[in-house]
């Protein structure tokens, strides 16, 4: 069996007018994107920018809630609960009646005390 009688599996078309130097230049050039891929690429960027900004705003809102609002509200209601519990204990233990003369002043003072140490 000779090599000439068997068909080769790999056949290369070689043009005589194409030089190897021009092939390497063409291979090194970046391919230009089509107009349809440019339009979809900018839409993807805009969506990702909007999504990134949305995630950042959610993160800022979460930080605001966890660092400012929740501690302040917890401290306010914690003091209110403590005052109420202490008043109930004093009424049970001793014959003392606790009367809040001005509820607005009582709530305002509780809010100011809660914010004082923040």
- What percentage of residues in the chain have a pLDDT greater than 70? 60
Going by C-beta distance under 8 Å and a sequence separation of 6 or more, which residues neighbour residue 83?
110
What's the gap between Cα 68 and its chain centre? Answer: 19
Q: What is the pLDDT of residue 29?
A: 55
On whether the CB atoms of residues 61 and 92 are closer than 8 A, the answer is no
**pLDDT 10s digits, 14-50:** 555 555 555 555 555 556 555 555 555 566 677 788 8
pTM of the model: 0.42
């Amino acid at each position: 069996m000779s090599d000439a009688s068997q068909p080769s599996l790999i056949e290369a078309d070689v043009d005589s007018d194409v030089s190897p130097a021009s092939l390497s230049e063409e291979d090194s050039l970046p391919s230009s994107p089509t107009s349809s891929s440019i339009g979809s690429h900018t839409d993807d960027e805009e969506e990702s920018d909007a999504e990134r900004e949305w995630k950042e705003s959610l993160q800022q809102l979460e930080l605001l809630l966890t660092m400012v609002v929740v501690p302040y509200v917890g401290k306010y209601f914690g003091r209110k609960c403590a005052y109420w519990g202490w008043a109930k204990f004093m009424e049970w233990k001793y014959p003392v009646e606790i009367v809040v003369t001005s509820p607005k002043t009582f709530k305002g003072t509780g809010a100011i005390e809660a914010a004082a140490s923040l």
